[in-house]
Amino acid sequence: MHALDRARSLLRSNFGRNDGWYVELDGAVVGELEDPVWVDMFWHSYSLRCVAAEHRLALQEDELWNRCAFVFRNRRTKEIPPWAFAGGSPKVRDGRVTMRGLYLAPTSMLERACLRALQRFGRRDHAPS
């Protein structure tokens, strides 16, 4: 994917947030995060969906969230943001979890420049080139 296309994709998906995320534990998908809602400054709340009944307890276990045992993989791009973590206590409350750092970032200086240009000139052109 070219830098300009990726920059457009990042903007279109709210830096991957709107794509949704797979929640993985020990290499297996145990849940999904979707429906991002901005909470505060750097935090977004996501609806947590368990993919199979046998994973329900693991997803509710604060100790696993506290030690960052889960890996978050973007459902569309399959990228993993290494800096994502959950906040709050308990971590899962009313079927939602609050996350920080769960977003995709530009991977090159050229992508960053394209993002700045698109944002500066308001050219959130979502049509493919």
- What would the pLDDT profile of 9-45 be if each residue is shown by its tens digit? 999 999 999 999 999 999 999 999 999 999 999 999 9
> Sheet containing 28-40: which strands, arranged edge to edge?
71-74, 21-25, 28-40, 43-50, 96-100, 85-93
Q: For residue 122, what pLDDT is reported?
A: 74
Structure tokens at 121: 């000139």
Q: Tell me the HSE value of 15 on the side-chain side, using a 13 A CA sphere.
A: 15
**Cα-based angle 71, 6, 78 (whole degrees, multiple of 5):** 25
Distance (Å, whole) CA 4 – CA 9: 9
**2 vs 114: CA distance, rounded Å:** 10
36-87 residue pLDDT tens: 999 999 999 999 999 989 999 999 999 999 999 999 999 999 999 999 999 9
* pLDDT at residue 129, as a whole number: 40
Global pTM?
A: 0.88
